[in-house]
Amino acid sequence: MLSGFAEWWNDLTAVELGWVLIGFAGQALFMMRFVFQWLHSERARRSIVPEIFWYFSLGGGLTLLAYAIHRADPVFIAGQATGLFIYSRNIYFIWREKRQSKSLQGREP
């Protein structure tokens, strides 16, 4: 196993190394959403999904989709593309609620 990894590592071009780093960056963003969800839930002493969860989801999903496209992996592409729709929709709901809340505050005496 280690010899296979060493061979793979030695065969990496600078461009491929860049894509591997992009893949790891996407995974890190994706992981952070769970870290923040866990921390917010611990603080609230109940299960909650903070707003930042959706931004990390979107950032990680976009980065991983780029990586999946580069790798030409249709399963990975389909999974990330589906997730991006869900993350974007949740962010839309958050923005819409904030906009509605601001307009209601402007009407109060």
Q: Give the span between the Cα atoms of 68 and 48, in whole angstroms.
A: 30
- pLDDT, greater one: 1 or 46: 46
Q: Which of 99, 96, 28, 98 is nearest to 59 (CA)?
A: 28
Q: Give the span between the Cα atoms of 29 and 37, in whole angstroms.
A: 13
Q: What average pLDDT score do residues 9-21 get?
A: 89
Span of 19-23, 36-40, 102-106 with lowest mean pLDDT = 102-106
Residue 22 has pLDDT above 70, yes or no: yes
Q: Please identify which residue in the block is written with the tokens 């603080």.
A: 43
Q: What average pLDDT score do residues 27-54 get?
A: 90
Q: Is the dihedral of CA 64, 70, 76, 79 positive or negative?
A: positive
- The reported pTM is 0.77
| Domain map (residue ranges) of the chain | 22-107
The per-residue pLDDT of the chain, averaged, comes to: 90
Residue 109 has pLDDT above 90, yes or no: no
Residue 10 has pLDDT above 90, yes or no: no
Q: How confident is the model at residue 6 (pLDDT cuts 50, 70, 90)?
A: confident
**In the chain, pLDDT over 70 holds for what percent of residues?**
96
